[in-house]
Chain A
Amino acid sequence: GAGVSQSPSNKVTEKGKDVELRCDPISGHTALYWYRQSLGQGLEFLIYFQGNSAPDKSGLPSDRFSAERTGGSVSTLTIQRTQQEDSAVYLCASSPPGLAGTNTGELFFGEGSRLTVL
C-alpha cells in the first residue's frame, strides 16, 4: 500500500480518557499535516511537520492536544482527557518535497480516524 495510512480507523472512548491517533505517511514525503473534520466545519488545520519539526502548531485547539513525528516518518496525535467536543474525523496528509526545500503543493490524504467521545 503506497498511500497514507491512519490508525485506528474508528475509536470510541469515554470522556476523560486519553487517545492516540497514528499516521504513517507516504515514504519520502517530508511534510505531514493533521486536520480535524467536523460536520459543517470543513477541515480545521491542527498542525504540520516539516521533517520532525513543527513550524506551525497554531491550530491545536488546547493544551490537551499534542503531536510528534519521529524519524521524519510516523506521526502521533495525542488527545488527553478527551471531551465530547473532540468527536470528529482526524485526517492526516503528507506532501512530497519540491525544489529547493519547497513543497509540491499536493496533499495526499489518509482515510481518517473517526473519534467518538461518549
Chain B
Amino acid sequence: AQRVTQPEKLLSVFKGAPVELKCNYSYSGSPELFWYVQYSRQRLQLLLRHISRESIKGFTADLNKGETSFHLKKPFAQEEDSAMYYCALSGQASGTYKYIFGTGTRLKVLA
C-alpha cells in the first residue's frame, strides 16, 4: 500500500538551529517524492521535489531508498520558515499520478 508517514505533528526549534522534518514512505515501485509547504493564510505550494535535487529557501531533501525516507533539512532555521509542511509521494514513474500526502508537520521557529 502507498503510504507517507510524518511522525511529528509539531516541531519547535530556535532561530538559527538546524531543523529536520522526517518523512518515511511505503511504495512498491519507483516513487517520486515532494515537499509541500503551507504558510499562514496562504495556499499549499510546492517547496521541492527529489528529482530536481535543488535547494529551495535553504531546504534540501535526499531520497534514501534503503531507508525509504525523504527527510527535509535546513542547517539554520529562520522565523519565516514557520509553516505546515507536507511530504507527498507520487507514482508517476509507473504511470500513476495520484499524490499521497502525509499528515503534515507544523514547524515553529522561535525567536
Residues of A bordering B, CB below 8 Å:
3, 31, 33, 35, 40-43, 45, 48, 50, 55-56, 58, 91, 93, 95, 102-103, 105-111
Contacts and interface: CB of A to CB of B under 8 A. Distances in A.
Interface residues of B, number: 24
B70 interface: no
B interface secondary structure, majority: strand
A56 B98 contact: yes
Interface of B: 6, 9, 32, 34, 36, 43-46, 49, 51, 86, 88, 90, 92, 96-104
B46 A107 contact: yes
B43 A107 contact: no
A109 B44 CA distance: 6
B103 A40 contact: yes
Chain A to chain B: the 8 pairs with minimum beta-carbon distance, closest first? A42-B103, A43-B101, A109-B44, A109-B43, A106-B46, A42-B104, A56-B98, A103-B97
